[in-house]
Structure 1
Amino acid sequence: MILARKGESMGEQIIIGEILHHITSTFRFQLDDIEPIQRGYQNRKWFAINDHGKKLFIKCYSSKRYPSEKMRFVRIALQIQSQLHEAGVVCPKLYGIDGKYIFETPSGFLFCMMDACDGDTIHPGEANWLQMFDLGRVTGYMHQVLNDFPKDRSYWSPTRLQLLKKWRMEWEKASTENCSIRIRFLLKRQREIIDSLQMQQFEECEQGWAHWDLWMENILFQGNLVSAILDFDRMKYVYPDLDIARAIMSGAFISQMGMDMRKVAAFIEGYRTYRPITKFQLARAFRLLWCKEAPWWYTADIEERSENPRRFFEEMCWLMEHWWELEDIFDIG
């Protein structure tokens, strides 16, 4: 019998009870010291210790956040993560049966289990240049391994129509609600950028498998070295350049100060250990990132939202402010 812990509902106890029973019957080991993780959005997560002393991470997927269509992509992503681990990429080892890593309990709860990795996350903008170098090296190696994976249909590409559709929605809200002058000014500036976009430039971007969520919250460090890349659930066949821009922005952009170019140069030097990258490719990667993320963060209510969305908003503002000089800014040899 599993005893309820402080802060846990009986419903949560039923879920973890079914999961633990499934794990015990499937993998023939016992789990102890079950510790709920109070972070993340909607999904339930736990740390546990098996009877061999191994610390494990268990994740139960929310049916609201991950309906069946999204879970199809998660299944593929976890299969790729397992192969990356086998190839030496620093990411958690998954536990699976016959190449399948998503399990279902009798009540229909979907979950996965993997090794818990040692290390700590770093707040955005606070990585040092040695950590950025190693992050670039690890990212470059991951992309090199992913380059050998079978091609797939592209999951996403930017279109002016979608950018304008989202912009009009937020502009209408800003026009009817009590938004600040700054938000209205930035929305006007966003429209100018959308109108001036040369969409054909993105046709030259290499397509391939990408982590697609490579920010500091999903990276563990031990000292100056990356100990693990986490959370591959969003992995898609899109543009690897997005990983480059997102990792640099998360690690090297400092709010109120701007981009730390020493950290940028360190990341690029590490990345080039395995793959080439030019200043034109880098500038285009940041414009691609803006097309992907600006619609998420340029919202009428952004100033009322929590710390992380506001951080992403400031990143997008910096890109928009320096839109026409990105090639000069990122001219790092």
Structure 2
Amino acid sequence: MRYHVKKVIMLLLIVGLVTGMTLPVLAADGATDTDSINEKLGSPIVVYGDTLTDEQKAEVRELLEVTDPESVVEYNVTGQDVANYIDGDPTARLFSSAKIMRQEEGNGLTINVVTPENITAVTNEMYANALLTAGVENATVDVVSPVKVSGHSALTGIYKAYDAEGEQLDKERMELANEELDVATDLAEKDGMSQEKVSELLTEIKKTIADQNPATKEDVERIVKEQLDKLEISLSDADRQMLVDLFEKMRDLNIDFGKVKSQLEDLATTIKDKAEELGLDAGFWEKVANFFSEFFNQLGNFFKGLFN
């Protein structure tokens, strides 16, 4: 009998080990350290939503780990900036804020949404896709809000930071990046479309555009259809046309995604890894179900043998 008890204990330990290894462990997002000033690329830039109260602004500084105001350059982003940069509403209330740290060539674009519980509509990957469209490269960007917001206005702050530091971005590309973010968040609200799936779709379309350099609108339509079929995404005719129109505008602006292809590939890998961590791949739950089905069958057989 003691032998059988030992077998039960060993079996339970094995189950705990296997399930512990199988369940995803999610790393929390956090602000990037700003204590060290890059003497070549300049100080980090922090842009605050103009609607923030003094107390909220202090909270944002803390969330962004701005411990020494002298170590960063600070700006406020206003409703007028929203109108100037993306033709938005000048009366908009702005809470989302950002910190931008320029990086050496080749480092790529890294986005950290520090308060994902308060940035409700836009993910790291959505920001990254939009900023690559706008022409932002080689930077680490932290986004934060002390209250629940969609997160769209953080883009305006990032654009203002570059403009104020003498690195003016193309206005048409900024407007198109904002439109892309609108498309992404709109699609993510559809039934059966996760934020990760939307980001994967946009990234794969851009990668294909970089590879094929479509010459006509028909080419763009074909690329969109191919990627929708590849990712097994079903959209209404209106949503499919919305995607085609978005990428046709990118083609008209001659946006060269070949320049940032390596960043798009890195982004695609990140999205797939995140989807796997969250168990969003189609076979994940089937594997889990099969595992436990087999386990309980074996456990039942074990106890039958124990008492026979």
TM-score normalised per structure 1: 0.26
Identify which of structures 1 and 2 has the higher relative contact order when contacts are C-alpha pairs closer than 8 Å and 6+ apart: 1
Larger radius of gyration: 2
Higher helix proportion: 2
TM-score normalised per structure 2: 0.28
Higher strand proportion: 1
